[in-house]
Amino acid sequence: MDICNGYMAGYYVFFENSSSNPYLIRRIEELNKTASGNVEAKVVCFYRRRDISHSLIQLADKHAKEEKEEEKESPLEAELTDKQKHQLRHRELFLSRQYESLPATHIRGKCSVALLNETEAVLSYLDKEDTFFYSLVYDPTQKTLLADKGEIRVGPRFQADVPDMLQEGESDEWDQSKLEEKLWDPDCPLSSKQIDQFLVVARAVGTFARALDCSSSVRQPSLHTSAAAASRDITLFHAMDTLHRHGYDLSSALSVLVPSGGPVLCRDEMEEWSASEAAMFEEALEKYGKDFNDIRQDFLPWKSLTSIIEYYYMWKTTDRYVQQKRLKAAEAESKLKQVYIPTYNKPNPNQISVTNGKMATVNGAGPGAYHAAGGGRACESCYSMQSAQWYSWGPPNMQCRLCVSCWMYWKKYGGLKMPSRAEAPEEKTPPSPEPRSRGHGPRQSSHMVPVRNSGSPKSSTKTKQAFLLQATRLTKLARHMCRDIIRLRRPFCMCAFLRVSVPFSGQ
């Protein structure tokens, strides 16, 4: 078996759910075989920045900026270029507590995901291939982001205040009688044989008391179960406490065990709980684990928290717990430990065939408008004209495409390698076929990527009247001298219209 194609629980992997969308990043929790013989993976979901609403992303960036200001930004972070900052956003993920089951055949490779290490240089995440990081937890149902950080439990709530060391012969002024209560004297006048005989009598009294009690006779209908219940710790503790309180006088202690009203009956939580309550507790334990607050709130609200905790530790001593533990161990053994997924080599539907493999440029075309033979365009990410294979990217009417290298980057990291000037710090996403508005100016998508015309008569919805813009010589010269400043191809930037209009709304 090829180790590279072997997957097991705990691995971070790429999943493909669409031929055109980026891979999903998941962590394998379990590998299960279905009734049809296929293998399904129970996985933990990770989300990219592009999967989360813009308002939450702004909140996360603001939180990260405040933390950097408090910690004083390191020189390595300050030296990041715009390209590195752009690509670093593609490495950020958001953990979730959401699980889903996906076919194992959709796995497309391994990756690495780690909790953000604040002491490590951020460039280390860019230097490693298929490496991601996360620092926040995303709740897709509540639409919230929370920090996934541990807490160092230091302080008076977690540590005791150690007093100063006493000098030799110095008293600590503590009255031991007020701090402790003696429950048993190992130097009592009774021998071990006499104590054991008294405990046997206490068990017999407990068995007889259960025979007289109607509720106990229903729960323990046989003599064997009644005797076993009477031999539990609560009966022995009561007998030893009674013996100690009566100065280890056997006759006096025996008279207390069997008063005039009838024998004393001692019960613990194992006897107080009914069979239906025990079944509900096991169901709750399977769902919530040892979260006793949730167990009490959702399943056993009539029980006290102390009662539930005490019952749990007694339940762990029963045969029922041992049987469940063995059953879970057998289920774990029967589960798949590892699955082998062959390398996926089927052609992607987004591949574009290249005529004779020849590349060319269109005469008179300006910068950035390169075309290949057969009507192709330059790569939308790196603007390269040479590639062994091209892939269509975005809506079909846009005719955008990516080279092999940029296509693999898009599939793995969910963005393009090179940042766009129109995007500024934001990441570039596939252009939308729908215009953002009907206003004046160049028609653009919702992600600031200009919408191109394919040249087909069907692509234009309405014939527009042509006009001529006669520019002066000084304007023509300025276009070449200040190209990056005036942004010839993308002269406009998106702005928050509501923020601009609020100050003037009252005028």
pLDDT at residue 420 in the model = 64
> Does 234 reside within a domain?
yes
> Does 280 reside within a domain?
no
Beta bridge partners of 259: none
pTM exceeds cut of 0.85 = no
Q: Is the pLDDT of residue 348 over 90?
A: no
Q: Is the pLDDT of residue 279 over 50?
A: yes
DSSP state letters, 235-286: HHHHHHHHHHHTTT-HHHHHHHHS-TT-------HHHHS-HHHHHHHHHHHH
Six token digits for residue 495: 């702005």
Of the pLDDT bands very low, low, confident and very high (cuts 50, 70, 90), residue 368 is: very low
CATH number of the domain where residue 214 is located: 4.10.1240.50
Q: Are residues 107 and 239 in the same domain?
A: no
pLDDT at residue 48 in the model = 94
209: containing domain = 192-267
| Residue the block writes with tokens 């793995």 | 412
Residue 264 vs residue 489, higher pLDDT: 264
Q: Are residues 200 and 73 in the same domain?
A: no
Q: Are residues 118 and 210 in the same domain?
A: no
> Does 495 reside within a domain?
no
> Does 224 reside within a domain?
yes
Of the pLDDT bands very low, low, confident and very high (cuts 50, 70, 90), residue 216 is: low
- Last residue of one domain, picked from the residues 147, 163, 183: 147
Q: Is the pLDDT of residue 495 over 80?
A: no
CA–CA dist 105, 110 (Å, integer): 13
Give the least confident one: 76-80, 211-215, 262-266. 76-80
What is the mean predicted confidence (pLDDT) over 26-44?
89
CA–CA dist 343, 94 (Å, integer): 28
> Does 214 reside within a domain?
yes
Residue 21 vs residue 352, higher pLDDT: 21
Six token digits for residue 318: 């029963």
| Count of domains observed in the chain | 2
Residue 460 vs residue 433, higher pLDDT: 433
pLDDT at residue 60 in the model = 82
Q: Is the pLDDT of residue 445 over 70?
A: no
Q: Are residues 121 and 233 in the same domain?
A: no
- Last residue of one domain, picked from the residues 147, 164, 182: 147
Question: For residue 197, which phi and psi values (nearest 5 degrees)?
Answer: -65, -40
What is the mean predicted confidence (pLDDT) over 410-431?
68
> Does 212 reside within a domain?
yes
The pLDDT tens digits of the residues spanning 305-315 come to 999 999 999 89
- Last residue of one domain, picked from the residues 267, 296, 325: 267
Q: Are residues 132 and 51 in the same domain?
A: yes
